[in-house]
């Protein structure tokens, strides 16, 4: 559950619903192009910002339920943020 997530927590396995998705921003890092976007996601316990990278951005839309597997909770300016991290994955849950 979102309310139980802690900053710097790894191995997060959670199903959340997408409430909104921001416009993707392009960047270059180590000479490689990339894209990043943020989404607000929720479950029955609360909401959290989800950071989306590259191909994951195009996989989801508002209203989708998504399953984060082996995710990671980071912290940016005191705000907890969920992401797939280096080793996690995200899949859209078929109802």
Which pLDDT belongs to residue 95? 64
Confidence class of residue 84 from pLDDT cuts 50, 70 and 90?
Answer: very high
Percent of the chain at pLDDT exceeding 70: 99
- Please provide the average confidence, as pLDDT, over all residues in the chain: 96
Give me the pLDDT at residue 86, please.
87
Architecture of the domain delimited by 2-92: Beta Barrel (2.40)
How much is the pLDDT for 94? 78
- Enumerate the domain spans of the chain: 2-92
Confidence tier at 87 by pLDDT (50, 70, 90): very high
Question: Of 77, 59, 91, 82, which is closest to residue 11 (Cα–Cα)?
Answer: 82
- Residue identified by tokens 């479950």 is 43
Digit-coded pLDDT (tens) for 31-59:
999 999 999 999 999 999 999 999 999 99
Q: Give the span between the Cα atoms of 36 and 54, in whole angstroms.
A: 6
Which residue is it, tokens 């849950």? 93
- Spacing of C-alpha 12 from chain mean position: 11
């Amino acid at each position: 559950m979102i309310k139980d997530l802690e900053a710097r927590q790894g191995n997060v396995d959670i199903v959340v619903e997408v409430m909104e998705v921001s416009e993707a921003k392009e960047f270059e890092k180590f000479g490689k192009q990339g894209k990043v976007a943020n989404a607000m996601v929720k479950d029955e316990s609360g909401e959290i910002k989800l950071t989306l990278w590259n191909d994951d951005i195009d996989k989801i839309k508002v209203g989708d339920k998504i399953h984060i597997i082996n995710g990671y909770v980071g912290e940016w300016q005191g705000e907890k943020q969920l992401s797939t991290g280096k080793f996690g994955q995200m899949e859209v849950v078929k109802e």
